[in-house]
Amino acid sequence: MLVGIGEFLLVVGVDVSLDIWSGESATIGSFGVLLCSAAILLSVLSLPLVTRLGGPKLMSWLLGDLSFFAFLRRFAVVFIAGITVLGIYQATLWGAAYLMGTVDPFDTPELPVEKVGPATLVVGVGLLVAFPPFVYFWMLTQVAGAALSMCVLTRLSVLVLKMVRALAWRLAEYNKGAWTALVLGTTVVLGFLRLILTGAR
């Protein structure tokens, strides 16, 4: 939860910093500040509800089989289902905003409070309600994605180590293995330095 909220604050901070650096005004108005504050508070308060609705059970199912392809399949199911639900909700919110004749839902945080009408307030509440599920889905995909990335890197590292070990064993079995290894290492280093010098020019 704190990771998801922290990432959200980081994204908002980067967005505001880029706007200030480019000479534009910050894209979050007073209504956006209220929405973000309420969204963070709602995310914290909804933690017991998420636990009651089956959040731990979902994680237990996701981690039920730790083999790579089984975990990848379960993660793909969760990711596709989450993207589908959030996409349908976002499309519904856009349709409601269009029918009520108000601004784009994602433009509402730019408005000051005094310019917010009833229709915009309804859209803002719609964004507010969607924030806690989005935070938890973001957390889940970040953690699971990091686990998958580490698994892939581990497999690649093992493969590279096996190749290096096989090459080192072949060199050790060769009569002039030590000399060959020295020549090979020197050739690689010189080639790398030549590549750097050529790129610098």
For the chain, the domains span 2-174
Residues 6+ apart with CB under 8 A from 23: none
pLDDT at res. 84: 92
Segment 147-167 shows an average pLDDT of 81
> Which pLDDT value is given to residue 80?
92
**Three-state secondary-structure class, residue 102:** coil
**pLDDT at position 19:** 59
Give me the residue label for tokens 């990335």: 149
Convert the pLDDT of each residue in 76-119 to its tens digit.
998 999 899 988 998 998 888 888 888 777 778 778 888 888 88
Provide the mean pLDDT of the chain.
Answer: 77
Any idea which residue has 């050739």 for tokens? 187
Residue 17 has pLDDT above 80, yes or no: no
| pLDDT bucket at 172, cuts 50 / 70 / 90 | low
Q: Which alpha helices (DSSP H) does the chain contain, by range? A: 2-21, 30-45, 47-52, 55-62, 68-100, 118-173, 177-200
The pTM score is: 0.61
> Other C-beta atoms within 10 Å of 175: how many?
7
The pLDDT of residue 1: 52
Beta-carbon-side half-sphere exposure of residue 46 (alpha carbons within 13 Å): 22
